[in-house]
Amino acid sequence: MSPNAPGPKVSSATAAGGRAPIVGVIVVAAGSGTRLGAARPKAFAPLAGRTILEHSLDSVFGMQRESQVVVVVPSALVDEAASMVTDAAGAAHKYVRVVAGGATRQQSVALGLAELDASVRIVLVHDAARALTPSSVFDAVVTGVAQTASGIVPGVAVTDTIKRVDDDESVVETVDRAELRAVQTPQAFPRAALDAAYAEAEREHTDDAALFAAAGNTVSIIDGDDRAFKITTPWDLRRAEGLLRDTAAPTEGLRTGIGTDVHAFDDSSELWLAGLHWPGERGLSGHSDGDPVCHAITDALLSAAGLGDIGSVFGTADPQFDGAHGDVFLRATLERLTAAGFTVNNVSVQIIGNSPRFSPRRMEAEGLLSGILDAPVSVSATTTDGLGFPGRGEGICAIATAIVSRQYA
């Protein structure tokens, strides 16, 4: 468990020295998904091996500008969502909250609005159900509000011919579709005007732009994106699955990572290297057991998956990792990658140092590490011809590379 393990509510804090964000994003994910009919509430239903909410969060955290993010979920799922949001936000993100929603979408948005920090000037409201919305749409609506101070809503042309009908389903007229736009989210608004519009709203509106306009404010449309369609029915879910499959060409699923670690020799320590105990060899100093091979692999895997690095994920303050052997880090790292939908393709490590003589135990080390990661791990060793700190016998360095891929179910 990482030191920033989620509690029931992921609290926001101002990053030390950082500037509080002026953009806030409310992701509404508290609906039940009646029309989808999945076993779980819609945002928690699986889409290509992950939840709909996790896909949505990828887009939110892909925004150019650092934003406060408030995720509104069913009250029973606040803890579960908090862990997803923490993972999606990454180590760098200090401004996330997860709160319970209300009986209607409008109430859920209102509960999210109440969580925004005072620094927020522009608010985006986004349906988690629009899971494949590109981050560029988020950036574009922020720019729109900053330039115009009106509400900015993404919309696309209507391609079907639209008929107005009466109670008996008789056609009354054909509506000129050139005048129509199908609107999407994220919808963005100046914060003060949206707060005021919510405070005076007397009835339920179908979107935030309607509520905002009902209070006398201006709303403009910018180009939306076909991928921002709302997953409402099982058919929509299949369409989203298909789009994710199509964009995942075999090589696009592969990601590479690199990790380096160095520990100084410490004659009072036992040597642990590549997950193995080396009785009689000079030990290494450092947090945990000082095994540079396992630590370099951990960094390579985390970097390949974009999940941070060993220091930010397994803080040195966490007593769980005090004196822990390398396998503990590797197992905890693999768990994180698996939860994020990644599998490990292979890992390659090189040890740079004068001692111990590695080759007699290479097979043993590779077998152990491959077994832990359930993927081929190769370990080689070299010296530096007497040059540098490894050459002077001051310590051992390990450099690891990893290739991982995201699984689509």
The site for ligand CTP (CB under 6 A) is made up of 28-36, 42-43, 72, 101-105, 108, 127-129, 230, 232
* DSSP three-state, residue 155: strand
Contact (Cβ atoms closer than 8 angstroms) between residue 106 and residue 202: no
Strand 271-273 with 171-175, pairing: unpaired
Nearer to ligand CTP, 33 or 144 (CB): 33
- Residues contributing to the annotated binding site: 261-263, 287-288, 295, 309-311, 382-385, 389, 392
398 binds, among Mg ion, ligand CTP, none (CB under 5 to 8 A by kind): none
What is the number of the residue whose Cβ is closest to ligand CTP? 31
Q: How many CB atoms lie within 10 A of CB 286?
A: 19
Q: Which of 226, 50, 230 is nearest to 137 (CA)?
A: 226
| Candidate segments 26-34, 71-79, 341-349, 387-395, binder of Mg ion by CB under 5 A | 26-34
Beta-bridge partners for 189: 123
Nearer to Mg ion, 21 or 41 (CB): 41
Which tokens is 350 given? Answer: 């090189």
Distance in Å, CB of 192 to ligand CTP, minimum: 23
| Candidate segments 25-33, 220-228, 271-279, 370-378, binder of Mg ion by CB under 5 A | 25-33
25 binds, among ligand CTP, Mg ion, none (CB under 5 to 8 A by kind): none
Angle at which helices 78-89 and 52-61 cross, to 10°: 40
Q: How many CB atoms lie within 10 A of CB 163?
A: 12
108 binds, among ligand CTP, Mg ion, none (CB under 5 to 8 A by kind): ligand CTP
Q: How far is CA 340 from the centre of its chain?
A: 8
33 binds, among Mg ion, ligand CTP, none (CB under 5 to 8 A by kind): ligand CTP
Binding-residue total with Mg ion (CB under 5 A): 1
Distance in Å, CB of 75 to Mg ion, minimum: 17
Distance in Å, CB of 127 to ligand CTP, minimum: 4
User: Rounded to whole angstroms, how far apart are CA atoms 281 and 269?
Assistant: 9
Q: What is the DSSP letter of 284?
A: B
129 binds, among Mg ion, ligand CTP, none (CB under 5 to 8 A by kind): ligand CTP
User: Rounded to whole angstroms, how far apart are CA atoms 352 and 396?
Assistant: 6
Task: Give the interface with Mg ion as residue ranges (CB under 5 A).
Answer: 31
